[in-house]
Structure 1
């Protein structure tokens, strides 16, 4: 489903016009630039909503019909759930479980983190995937050139860094396996197995 179709869902549910919602839905799918298949949906999680989308777009905004709409609700109800057949919202751990570990992860990711450790607001965001999942390999989501130069400037109004980076988004997606649940919700991820059992009984 593309951003325009998601925006149509928002209009039907919340009023206003396509243009009220298109930028938000387009941003949710901007990770398609990093990975052309459904592994790209790392922002389609509560971590993505809370740590990235809401800090950029705000908690709410007023649509062209004069109605205040909630950004979290739009992300959940108009974008993520429709992408997964209204069955579940995956967790960040569901994505990071699909990443193959590497023996050099701790060393490489620690070296990347050290450049930002003294900047409290950036370092807290960079380390949040580890706090969320417990997986060192989850830091590949934030410790890369895309996150530093695309996401950090949007959230904290920082300048981009014109430099070579030791880690890129390809380091993440080249090691992320495609799981069946990523295929538009035709299977359930580990976090939603209990939900699957409830609905199948």
Structure 2
């Protein structure tokens, strides 16, 4: 689905006009410019909503019908769950697990250098390091330590200005070797996080 289709879902559920919602849905899908298949869906996660969407749009906004709209609920019910056929919402860890072919030699030093070269405000570190905090995987930092996140996402958050420099890491560095998994394709299979949850429920039952 495209952002207009998702925005129309929001209009039907919540009232108001398409323009009330289109920017949020467009940002969730903006990673299509980085990767043209469904591997692009790194913002279709709770991490994406919490660390990217909400910092840009806030927790709530008022639509043109005067209704208070919760951004988290909007993202989950009108976009994420819809794209995965209401079966699950993957975690950022699911995407990182698909990054199995990322070269590991020298990765730590490369990320450290990138961080030192482009991050001049200590307050940004928590945002940039958030993928590592939730996954424990060093390679997860490639999701935030790249030219797209620095020059598109951080400026939209109002946390930094775009930098006119040559970047050592672009999104291609992690998207190109990322494995395509069936769960990325509209919920055709369950991601590792959903499989583990189902196994736990079966044990409890």
Q: Same fold (TM over 0.5)?
A: yes
Identify the match of residue 178 of structure 1 among 177, 180, 185: 180
Report the alpha carbon displacement of residue 118 of structure 1 after superposing the two structures with TM.
5.5
Instruction: Provide the rounded CA distance (Å) in 1 between the counterparts of 2:123 and 2:158.
Output: 8
Name the residue aligned to 1:57: 57
Report the counterpart of residue 22 of structure 1 in structure 2: 22
Give the TM-score taking structure 2 as reference length.
0.92
- Partner of 2:21, secondary structure, is helix
Q: Tell me, what secondary structure is at the counterpart of 1:151?
A: helix
Could you tell me which runs of 5 or more consecutive residues in structure 1 were left unpaired when the two chains were aligned.
none
Report SS of the residue matched to 1:42: helix
Residues 43-122 of structure 1: pairs in structure 2 closer than 5 A: 43-99=43-99, 100-102=101-103, 103-115=105-117, 119-122=121-124
Displacement of 1:114: 2.0
User: Residue 133 of structure 1 corresponds to which residue in structure 2?
Assistant: 135
Normalised by the size of structure 1, how large is the TM-score? 0.94
Cα deviation for residue 158 of structure 1 reads 2.4
Extract structure 1 runs of 4+ deviating beyond 4 A: 194-199
Q: CA deviation at 1:115?
A: 2.8
Q: Does residue 159 of structure 1 match 2:161?
A: yes
Aligned-pair CA distance for 1:101: 3.3
Higher alpha-carbon deviation: 166-175 or 106-115? 106-115
Contact between 2:124 and 2:159, CA under 8 Å: does it hold in 1? no
User: What whole-Å deviation, never above 9, does each CA across 1:121-161 have from its counterpart, x for those lacking one?
Assistant: 21111111111101111011001000000011111342210
Over aligned residue pairs, what C-alpha RMSD do you find? 1.6
The answer to whether the 8 A contact 1:61-1:69 is kept is yes
**Residues 101 and 170 (structure 1), Cα distance of their counterparts in 2 relative to 1, 3 Å cut:** closer
1:32 aligned residue: 32
Structure 2: gaps of 5 or more residues: none
